Amino acid sequence: MSQIARKLIDENGVRTDGRKVDELRPIKITVGVLSNADGSAYIEQGKNKILAAVYGPHEVHPKHLALPDRALIRCRYHMAPFSVEERKHPAPSRREIELSKVIRWALEPAVFLEYYPRASIDVFTEVLQADGGTRCASITTASLALADAGIPMRDLVVSCAAGKVDGQLMLDLTDIEDKEGEADMPLALMPNFNAITLLQMDGQLTSDEFEKLLSLALDGCKQLNTLQKEALKSKYVAVKEEVEE
């Protein structure tokens, strides 16, 4: 059977990985996983495995890039050559350059950039294993790495996609659902302000479907935000226990 003819959701509304339409993939988040970075976090979202690290604030090089009234955020999204089935060229592709920019746009509104004029805050996200939705998981993880680096923020940024596959609206698409589905809509949110910092859409939807997908993705973001906060808190519980030993 060709992949195109494959059914991605059965008559009981169960997807190929056993999830229901409104379910996120299993998620595991850890904050503070690298000792040499100023801040770091790691996420496993289904088969996605992504590491985020923050370096800064520090002096900008080359100096002419420095902004007189605020910090510069520089993001690099990169997929490791072994992150997908066929070896990916290690050099940054056009897609990775675009996603680096998209991740920066999603994160910038949350950071008090004006606290660090002429400085740079560098955010690296390294996709170790990819299975769809890596830009969203990178944003979710990078915002935790920023918080871990002690960068003052208005809110965390959390991100999740929803899409349309086999005519059904569903949350958190895997690679195959994304590739074979009709639409994909990544969303990033500052949950305490209910402010959307990124909204993209690939494919076609009616306005009613768009409204429903938006609400599905917002709900996914809120669930993920609870996990983000738990992961941040557990780092400090571990530090407290270490100090008290």
> Residues interacting with ligand ADP, by CB under 6 A?
84, 88, 95, 130-135, 175, 178
Residue in 126, 214, 127, 132 with CA at minimum distance from that of residue 169: 214
Closer of 84 and 119 to ligand ADP (Cβ): 84
CB of 204 to ligand ADP, least distance (A): 16
Q: Is 172 left (phi over 0), alpha (psi -120 to 50) or beta?
A: left
Amino acid occupying residue 140: T
Structure tokens given for 133: 């939705």
Query: Smallest distance, Å, CB 164 to ligand ADP?
Result: 14
Residue 165 Cβ vs ligand ADP, minimum distance, rounded to whole Å: 13
Judged by beta carbon, residue 125 or residue 225, the one nearer ligand ADP is 125
**Considering the complex, what minimum distance in angstroms separates the CB of residue 171 from ligand ADP?**
13
Residue closer to ligand ADP, measured from CB, 74 or 88:
88
DSSP category for residue 188: E
> Are 123 and 54 contacting, i.e. CB atoms less than 8 angstroms apart?
yes
Element holding 48 (H helix, E strand): strand 48-59
Closer to ligand ADP at the Cβ: 95 or 240?
Answer: 95
What is d(CA 237, CA 52) in angstroms, rounded to the nearest whole number? Answer: 21
Pairing, β 158-165 against β 72-79: unpaired
Cβ proximity to ligand ADP: between 174 and 228 the closer is 174
Closest distance between ligand ADP and the C-beta of residue 46, in Å? 10
